[in-house]
Structure 1
Amino acid sequence: MQHIALVGTTADAKLGFRAELIKDLVAQGHKVFAFAGDYTDKTRAAISALGAQPVSYSVSRFGINPIQDCYTLLQLVRLFKQHRIDMSFCYFAKPVIFGSLAAKLAGVPYRVAKIEGLGRIFTVPASGDTLRARILRWVQTQLYRLALPACHTVFVLNPDDEQDLITANNIKVKRCINLGGIGINLEQYQPFTASGKIKFIFVGRLLPEKGIGYFIQAATLLRQQGAPAEFVVLGEPDNSPGAINRAQLQKLVEQGIIYYPGRVGNVSEYLRQSHVFVLPSYYREGVPRSTQEAMAAGLAIITTNVPGCRETVSHKDNGLLVPPHDVAALVAAMQQLIQQPGLAEQMGQRSRTMAEKKYDVRKINHTILQALSLHTKQKHE
């Protein structure tokens, strides 16, 4: 039995994206310590129900205060020692950096990092780069330069992240494995051919980088043209600068441009009732989970030809790729599928086939567990 620290930022993300991995690790007889920075009584109970032990620690997800980050580092060193951790498994930027360094300082024998996209700091908006962004990107790259060589295995989700972060910056890592996706439980997303007018759906954080503004612009133009289509938005308003707020969403609903049901717990049911998933993101994604879910539900995909997003689409096969920041191209792609509903259905069928091949959580977790088992084997040799 190994004591494994699964270190992330939020409890909801752990429950939504790591539940299957936790269950698999527990089933193998390991003791899993689930580290998060925002536990509530409800999420603690949910993590415990999976068989893991919730562990709280202090982490500032988006802050750039070095004192706070040093506190996070020292706290993790103490907690790793307290729980006699044999293996650290860190994901998301700050846990990867400070969790991996803390694991090395604490003497954790085996250390694993999982990079799920390069995130906001590596995202370049349509207005171009800024000096502040370039400085922050340089600082984070230097931190990765310290942390990643301390890991025995680094997982990435797409080849661009390995190239742009590790290879381009000559960061020495012992082993890098491209998982190709985060993985989803395919049984929860059964394909279903929706009827009625073609329905486009956006699912995700309502951030500019995720392309919600471009989706709304396209929906507005198509409404003005009288296109026989519906436009659905799922996602919570975000407090980040430039993010769309609830009042703006309500106004769009009143204008008849979008349907916005607010916070929902049954995303899969909304996907089943839709035809085309649209994600005009320019964010440095890993491989968007929302797109993987839409593919599993049998939807055609329209997304951008940028790192992470382009991994989900074989152009003109299961969907269409458009350039980032190009509303005209996005509208044209949506018009094509409005005019050819049979093509949208065909693309949706191909999406499901691709999801079964590439994004089955059982296959992806098997790859992860094989890597972790190799570490365990080496420990006893």
Structure 2
Amino acid sequence: MSKILINGSHPQYLVNFRGPLIRDLIARGHELHVSSPDLDGEWRDAVLELGATPHSVPLRRTRISILGDLNYHGFIYQLIRKVGADFVLNYTIKPNIWGSLAASRAGARSASMVTGLGFAFIAGDGLARAATQKIAQRLYRMATDANSHVVFQNPDDLADFIAAGSLRKPDKAVIVNGSGLDLDHYDVAPLPPAPVFLSLARLLRSKGLEEYAEAAAQVRTTIPAARFLLAGMLDTGPDAVSREQLDRWIASGIEYLGHLNDVRPAIAQASVFVLPSWREGTPRTVLEAMGMGRPIITTDAPGCRETTVDGVNGLLVPVRDAGALADAMIRLARDSSLRAAWGTESRRMAEEKYSVDKVNQSLIEGLGL
């Protein structure tokens, strides 16, 4: 039996996305501790119900802060020592880096789960961004040097990590199919007869939300009855959509549903799910929509292309191409039988490839737990 500490960066995602993994590890006889900022109230109670011990930690999830990150590193080091953790499992960039370095300092084995490369690897303009990316990539190299395993959700992310020098020992890599999906929780819901599009993501430019809003305006001129829903939380990072920009989208006809603790009612309202992201690990929201039997429109980008077979369960479009996105949306808006057929195929693919039981078994075996 191991004492395992799982470090995340958001309490809701820790419970909703890692809950089945926590349960599976406990069922195998391990003692589980989990950490996240703001892990209190209902989320603390949810962790206790899973059978794990919750720890709220001082992590600034999006802000670049050397002192804040070093404080988090020191806190995790002390937490590892306090609970006697012998294995530390991290995910998202700051826990991956600082949690892995803390584990090495404390003499504990560790692994990083790379659930997407995001801002640290997506090309952009400006010297400040380039410098920040170089620092992040070098910090990742230090972290993966300390890890026993590094978990990826698609082969493109693994290849880019190696190319950037962020993983010097490729034999540490483990590839799994996303975070896994509880197919009982995300059951098939009837498709609405009208064309209703939904995009569900953190409100970041790199999720392709500007393209979604622009494509919606184009589709509306051809199919005035089409509806366009958007759900997700406002963010504070350098890639974040501003409140002013969101308000402009709402004024143009986008129906903003806010930040949702349960995404299933929103997906049930939609007849097509759209995620025009520039890059993902494996997009969780796409898997949730697939589980509920929705056809998918997403980009031919790392992580996204793994979820969708073009012309089978949806359509792939080029990254940052609002015109191509609008054409794909119009095609599905005009054909309800195609939406139904591709939605059925999405569910079949979710059952075959993304079942949480299969993914967790692969992950736990890959980590030697």
Give 1:42 shift: 2.4
Q: How does 1:218-367 map to 2 (within 5 A)?
A: 218-240=215-237, 243-244=240-241, 249=246, 252-253=249-250, 257-282=253-278, 284-367=279-362
Q: How does 1:80-91 map to 2 (within 5 A)?
A: 80-91=80-91
8 Å Cα contact 1:158-1:179 kept in structure 2:
yes
Deviations 1:13-32 (CA, angstroms, capped at 9, x unpaired): 21121111111111222111
Give 1:193 shift: 3.2
AA in 2 matched with 1:92? T
Instruction: Please report the TM-score for the alignment, with normalisation by the length of structure 1.
Output: 0.90
Counterpart residue number, 2:117: 118
Give 1:273 shift: 2.9
AA in 2 matched with 1:298? G
CA distance in structure 1 between the aligned counterparts of 2:100 and 2:206, rounded to whole angstroms: 28
CA distance in structure 2 between the aligned counterparts of 1:326 and 1:2, rounded to whole angstroms: 48
8 Å Cα contact 2:62-2:236 kept in structure 1:
no
CA distance in structure 2 between the aligned counterparts of 1:46 and 1:209, rounded to whole angstroms: 31
CA distance in structure 2 between the aligned counterparts of 1:62 and 1:237, rounded to whole angstroms: 12
Give 1:64 shift: 2.8
RMSD across aligned positions (CA): 2.0
AA in 2 matched with 1:122? F
Q: How does 1:1-381 map to 2 (within 5 A)?
A: 1-108=1-108, 110-124=109-123, 128-169=124-165, 171-240=168-237, 243-244=240-241, 249=246, 252-253=249-250, 257-282=253-278, 284-372=279-367, 374=368
8 Å Cα contact 1:151-1:173 kept in structure 2:
no
Give 1:249 shift: 4.9
Give 1:270 shift: 2.4
Instruction: Please report the TM-score for the alignment, with normalisation by the length of structure 2.
Output: 0.93
Secondary structure of residue in 2 paired with 1:186: coil
Give 1:300 shift: 0.8
Q: CA 1:165 to 1:251, structure 2 compared with 1: closer, same or farther past 3 Å?
A: closer
CA distance in structure 1 between the aligned counterparts of 2:362 and 2:239, rounded to whole angstroms: 39
Give 1:60 shift: 2.2
Give 1:150 shift: 1.5
Give 1:164 shift: 0.3
Secondary structure of residue in 2 paired with 1:368: helix
8 Å Cα contact 1:211-1:281 kept in structure 2:
yes
Deviations 1:3-51 (CA, angstroms, capped at 9, x unpaired): 1000111211211211111111112221111011222232212211111
CA distance in structure 2 between the aligned counterparts of 1:101 and 1:241, rounded to whole angstroms: 25
The 10-residue stretch of structure 1 (154-163 or 41-50) with the greater mean CA deviation from structure 2: 41-50
How many residues align? The count is 368
- Contiguous gaps of at least 5 residues in structure 2: none
Give 1:165 shift: 0.7
Aligned sequence identity (%): 36
The 10-residue stretch of structure 1 (229-238 or 213-222) with the greater mean CA deviation from structure 2: 229-238
CA distance in structure 1 between the aligned counterparts of 2:223 and 2:44, rounded to whole angstroms: 49
